[in-house]
C-alpha cells in the first residue's frame, strides 16, 4: 500500500467538477478544533455566504457534513412523518430518490411523472395538490440526470397556494443559475459542493425557512435521522445560546467550501451566471457543428449540464473511454432510461471556461472519428469560438 | 469575506487530533471523478486497509461519507426496526446518543446504566439480555466523554450467547488500542477519522458482519436512512457485480484517509499501540507529578483519551483558555455530568508524541500557576521523561 497519486483529469461530467488550485490549497491548511473560536468565525462566514448565495436571508443555512444526498434526506426526514402526504415530482433519477426517501420517512406519496428530459409540468402538480392535503411538494430544480431546469418559482407558488411546504433540490443549480429561496418563497433548498461551487464532494449546504422550522417544531415524532435533525444541527451551528456539541464538523472540507465561496463572490454572482450561460451556448454551437443533437428543448436546458444524444451506431461507452484515455477528459454517461442514449457534459464552476469548451469539442471530434463518424471539427470549433470571443 | 488562514494549534483534545503534513498534502491532490477507474482502485485499497485495521476480514468494510456519528446511525438504523428490542449500554455521552437513535429507528430500548467514568458492567448486561429477546446489544468500546475502555470481547460474547447482534462504537479506539472484530465476533463496528487515524473529521469507517448483513436482508421495512442503507452502500463500494451509483464519494477526504492508513501500516499496528501506551504512561506520570488526579481507574483507562479531575478552586475554562492563548494548545472540557469536573487530554495518532506530552505538561503547569496553584513542573517533566526515554 503506497501513497495515492491521482491521474490528472479534466472533469466535465455531472460532478465533481474541476477544483481550482486555491480551493485545493485551502483543503490542506492545518486542521483546528471544531470548538476553536477561530472555527466559530469560519462557520459564521460560511452561513452568511450560503444565505447570500441561496438568497435566503431569513432561512437557517448550514452545510451538512455529507454529500448532496444528505440535503435531500434532511429535507424529507425533517418535514415528513407518518400520517403526512407528499407530492413528489419525478422527471429523472433524483425525483425517484425523493420518492424512496419519503416512503422511509413514513409518509404517503403521490408522484407526478414527467418524461426524462422534460421539466416538471405545473398543471399536473396543481392537479395532484388539489384536495390532497399534502404537507410537502418536492421537486428537482436542476435534474442532473437529464440536464433539465424546472420552473421553481411557479412550483413553489403552487405549493404555497395549496398550503404545502416546498422542497427544492438545487444540487446542480446552485452557483450555475440563480437560486432564489426568498423570491420563490421556498421552504427547504439544498445543494452540493462538487457541482457549480467547484469544491470537492462531501458537503451539502441547506436552507430551511422559518415556516419549515415551525412545522418541524410541531412534529409528533422526532425526525428519523439524528445526524440531520435540523434542530440539533442548528444548535451546533450556533444561535443566540451558543453552540451545543452534535457531530464533529469536517474542518478541512469546510476550509475548501469557504474558499470556493470567496472565489465565487470575488468574481460576482451575476458574472458567474453569465459565464456559465456563455460557455453553454458555445458548447452547444460546437456540438451541433459536430452533427450532434441535444436531448432537452432550448428553453429548459441547464447551462451547466448538457445532455447530448448518442448518434445511431456509435458505442457511447467507447467514446467516453476514448476521451478519458486520450484526452484525460471525463464526461458522464446516461442513467436509468437514458443509459446508453446520452452523454452528460458538465460546464460547472471551474470547469466552465473557454479552454474546457474547446478541449471537449476537440476530444469528442477525435473520439467520433475513431468510431468512423466523420465530422467537421474545424467548423465546430469555429462556431464555438465565434461565441466565446463575441 | 477573505480566504481563511487557520491559527496554528496543537490538538490534544478529544478530537480532531493533529493531522500530519503528509495527510494534509494528500487532501490537496487534484480531485478526480468518483467513477474514474483510478478511484475504483483507491476504494479497493481503502476497503482492504480498513478490514485489516478492524481485523474484520469477513466483514463488509466501507468508509461512510460523514463523521463518526454516521457510523452509529448506520449501525442502528440498519439493524433495528419497529418491533425490535435493543439493549443499549450507557456510561457516557455516546451511549446516551445510541438510545436516542434506537428510538428513532422505532425499536424498544432497554438501557443498562453505569457511572460516567466506569466501564460497562457485564453482569448488568447479562441480566438485561436474559429473556429480553433483544435483537441488538449496543455499547461503546472507548467512551470519548469519559476516557473509559469497556471489555468488548466479553460484551460481544454475551450478545452471541443471547442471540443478539452486537454494535460496538470504536470511534476513539481504532488506531489507538486493538480493535478485533473477528476475535470479538462483533457484528457492527464503526469509527471516525479524526481520532487515532489523525485524518480530518468527516468520514466514518464501518464494518458489518455477514450475520448482520443477513439480518438486514430479513428486515420487514427498509432502513430509515437512505444515505446509510448498507445494501445501497455496498452496491456503490463495489462487489462482484460492479458499482451502482449511490452518492458521490468525498474524493479528497478519502485521499486523506488513505494516506493516514498508509502511514499507520508503515509504522506498524503494534508499534502504534505501543506508542500510544507509552505516551499515556508518561503523561499520567507527569500529571500526577503536577498533583493532578485521573478520573478513571488504571485498568479501564484509554491511553488516547485522558480524563483529569479539575482541582478544587480551579476555574477549568480559564485553564483551557490559558493553554490555548499562551501555548496554542487545545485540550477538551467535560461533557454532561462531567462538565466543569474534568479536562480531556487526547494522545491520538499524530498527537501521541513525546513532544506533545512535554508541551502539555509545561502548559498545564503554567496555567495552574496563573490560577495560583503551585506545582513542581520540573519534577513532573522529569517523571514523564523517565518513561519517555526508558
Is residue A193 one of the residues assigned to a domain?
Answer: yes
Neighbours of A262 (CB within 10 A): 19
pLDDT of residue B243: 83
A101 contacts in chain B (CB < 8 Å): 226
Q: Is residue A380 part of a domain?
A: yes
Burial zone of B131 (CB within 10 Å; 0-12 exposed, 13-18 middle, 19+ buried):
exposed
Residue of B nearest to A245 (CA): B335
Give the cell for residue B341: 469536573
Same domain, B377 and B240: no
On whether residue B187 sits in a domain, the answer given is yes
Å between A175 CA and nearest CA of chain B: 17
Q: In degrees rounded to 5, what are phi and psi of residue A99?
A: -60, -45
Q: Is A5 exposed, middle or buried (0-12, 13-18, 19+ CB in 10 A)?
A: exposed
Check the CA dihedral B76-B217-B205-B228 and report its sign. Answer: negative
Question: Looking at residue A79, which CATH number applies to its domain?
Answer: 3.40.640.10
Query: Is residue B216 domain-resident?
Result: yes
Residue B163 CA, chain-centre distance (Å), reads 26
Q: Do A248 and B33 touch (CB under 8 A)?
A: no
- Mean pLDDT by runs of 10 across the 390 residues of chain B is 97 98 98 95 97 98 97 98 98 98 98 98 98 97 98 98 98 98 98 98 98 98 97 86 87 98 98 98 98 98 98 96 98 96 98 98 98 94 94
Name the one residue in this structure whose C-alpha cell is 426526514. Answer: A77
Looking at the structure, tell me whether residues A39 and A188 fall in a common domain.
yes
In angstroms, the CA B139 to CA B111 distance is 10
> Are the Cβ atoms of B226 and A250 closer than 8 angstroms?
no
Which residues does residue A301 pair with via DSSP β-bridges, in sequence order? A148
Gap between the terminal Cα atoms of chain A:
51
CB contact under 8 A, A9 and B30: yes
Least CB-CB distance to A5: which of B28, B29, B202? B29
| Same domain assignment for residues B39 and B124 | yes
**B193 shares a domain with B84:** yes
Does one domain contain both A304 and A245?
no
Residue in the structure block whose three cell numbers are 428543448: A297
**pLDDT for res B366:** 97
Burial class (CB in 10 A: 0-12, 13-18, 19+), A241: exposed
Q: Do A103 and B245 touch (CB under 8 A)?
A: no
Query: Are residues A220 and A320 both part of a single domain?
Result: no
Give A196 to chain B, closest Cα distance, Å: 14
Whether residue B244 is found in the same domain as residue B312: no
Boundary (domain end) residue, out of A242, A265, A288: A265
List pLDDT tens digits, range B128-146.
999 999 999 999 999 999 9
CA–CA separation, B273 and B176 (whole Å): 6
Residues from chain A that touch B201, judged by Cβ atoms under 8 A, are 34, 65, 248-251
- Chain A hits for B202, Cβ within 8 Å: 65, 202, 250-253
Residue with cell 462538487: A194
Instruction: Nearest chain A residue to B36 by CA: give it.
Output: A330
* Of the residues A230, A265, A300, the one at which a domain ends: A265
Whether A331 maps to a domain, the answer reads: yes
pLDDT tens column, A88-128? 999 999 999 999 999 999 999 999 999 999 999 999 999 99
pLDDT at A290 over 80: yes
Residues A78 and A196 in one domain: yes
Flag whether pLDDT at A26 surpasses 80: yes
SS (H, E, C) A109-162: EEEEECCCCCCCCHHHHHHHHCCCCCCEEEEECEECCCCEECCHHHHHHHHHHC
Q: Given the DSSP bridges, would you call strands A329-330 and A10-11 parallel, antiparallel or unpaired?
A: parallel
Structural domains of chain B, count: 2
- Do A38 and B6 make contact, defined as CB atoms within 8 angstroms? yes
ipTM of predicted complex = 0.97
Choose one of A216, A250, A265: the last residue of a domain. Answer: A265
Does residue B15 form part of some domain? no
Could you tell me the sign of the dihedral formed by the alpha carbons of A106, A109, A113, A119, in that order? negative
B386 CA to chain A: closest CA distance, Å?
31
Q: What is the pLDDT of residues A145-172, one digit of tens each?
A: 999 999 999 999 999 999 999 999 999 9
Examine the domain organization and report whether A342 and A302 are in the same domain: yes
Residue A243 — pLDDT band, cuts 50, 70, 90?
A: confident
- Whether residues B196 and B291 share a domain: the answer is no
Both A28 and A177 in a single domain?
yes
Using 50, 70 and 90 to split pLDDT, how confident is the model at A239? Answer: low
Least CB–CB distance from B67: residue in A13, A19, A248: A248
B114 vs A317, B122, B306, CA distance in Å? Answer: 58, 10, 19
Would you say residue A373 lies in a domain? yes
A342, part of any domain? yes
Cβ B248–A68 below 8 Å, yes or no? Answer: yes
- Looking at the fold, whether B237 and B281 belong to one and the same domain comes out as no
Cβ contacts (< 8 Å) between B245 and chain A: which residues? 93, 335
Report whether pLDDT(A219) > 70. yes
pTM: predicted TM-score of the whole model, two decimal places: 0.98
> Which structural domain range is residue A367 located in?
269-388
| The pLDDT of residue A150 | 98
CATH of the domain at A355: 3.90.1150.10
**Could you give the count of Cα atoms lying within 13 Å of B322 in the half-sphere of its Cβ?**
17
**pLDDT at position B238:** 81
pLDDT in tens, A264-280: 999 999 999 999 999 99
Asked if residue A64 lies in contact with residue A233, where contact means CB atoms within 8 angstroms, the answer is yes
Residue B161 to chain A, least CA–CA distance (Å): 30
* Cα dihedral across residues A204, A209, A215, A216: positive or negative: positive
Number of continuous H segments (helices) and E segments (strands) in chain B: 14, 14
Q: Do A11 and B2 touch (CB under 8 A)?
A: no
Residues of chain B contacting A105 with CB distance shorter than 8 Å: 224
Confidence of residue A15 (pLDDT cuts 50, 70, 90): very high
Residue of B nearest to A64 (CA): B66
Amino acid at each position: 500500500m503506497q501513497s495515492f497519486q491521482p491521474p490528472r483529469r479534466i472533469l466535465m461530467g455531472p460532478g465533481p467538477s474541476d477544483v481550482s488550485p486555491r480551493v485545493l490549497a485551502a483543503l490542506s491548511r492545518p486542521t483546528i478544533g471544531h470548538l476553536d473560536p477561530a472555527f466559530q468565525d469560519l462557520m459564521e462566514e460560511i452561513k452568511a455566504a450560503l444565505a447570500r448565495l441561496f438568497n435566503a436571508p431569513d432561512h437557517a443555512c448550514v452545510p451538512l457534513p455529507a454529500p448532496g444526498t444528505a440535503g435531500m434526506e434532511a429535507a424529507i426526514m425533517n418535514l415528513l412523518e407518518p400520517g403526512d402526504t407528499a407530492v413528489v415530482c419525478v422527471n429523472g433519477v433524483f425525483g425517484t430518490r425523493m420518492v424512496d426517501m419519503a416512503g422511509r420517512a413514513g409518509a404517503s406519496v403521490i408522484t407526478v411523472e414527467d418524461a426524462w428530459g422534460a421539466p416538471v409540468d405545473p398543471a399536473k402538480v396543481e392537479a395532484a395538490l388539489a384536495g390532497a392535503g399534502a404537507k410537502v411538494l418536492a421537486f428537482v430544480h436542476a435534474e442532473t440526470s437529464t440536464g433539465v431546469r424546472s420552473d421553481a418559482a411557479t412550483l413553489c407558488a403552487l405549493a404555497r397556494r395549496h398550503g404545502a411546504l416546498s422542497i427544492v433540490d438545487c444540487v446542480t443549480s446552485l452557483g450555475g443559475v440563480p437560486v432564489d429561496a426568498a423570491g420563490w418563497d421556498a421552504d427547504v433548498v439544498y445543494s452540493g459542493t462538487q457541482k457549480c461551487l467547484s469544491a470537492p464532494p462531501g458537503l451539502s449546504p441547506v436552507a430551511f425557512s422559518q415556516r419549515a422550522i415551525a412545522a418541524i417544531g410541531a412534529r409528533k415524532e422526532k425526525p428519523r435521522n439524528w445526524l440531520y435533525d435540523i434542530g440539533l444541527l442548528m444548535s451546533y451551528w450556533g444561535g443566540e445560546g451558543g453552540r451545543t456539541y452534535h457531530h464533529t464538523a469536517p474542518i478541512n472540507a469546510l476550509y475548501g467550501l469557504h474558499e470556493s465561496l470567496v472565489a465565487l463572490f470575488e468574481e460576482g454572482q451575476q458574472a458567474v451566471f453569465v459565464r456559465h450561460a456563455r460557455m453553454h451556448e458555445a458548447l452547444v454551437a460546437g456540438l451541433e457543428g459536430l452533427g450532434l443533437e441535444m436531448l432537452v428543448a432550448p428553453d429548459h436546458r441547464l447551462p451547466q449540464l448538457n445532455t447530448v444524444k448518442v448518434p445511431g451506431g456509435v458505442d457511447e461507452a467507447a467514446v467516453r473511454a476514448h476521451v478519458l484515455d486520450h484526452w484525460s477528459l471525463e464526461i458522464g454517461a446516461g442513467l436509468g432510461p437514458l443509459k446508453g442514449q446520452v452523454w452528460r457534459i458538465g460546464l460547472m464552476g471551474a470547469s466552465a471556461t473557454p479552454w474546457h469548451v474547446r478541449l471537449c469539442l476537440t476530444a469528442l471530434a477525435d473520439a467520433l472519428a475513431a468510431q468512423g463518424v466523420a465530422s467537421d471539427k474545424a467548423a465546430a470549433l469555429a462556431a464555438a469560438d465565434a461565441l466565446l470571443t463575441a
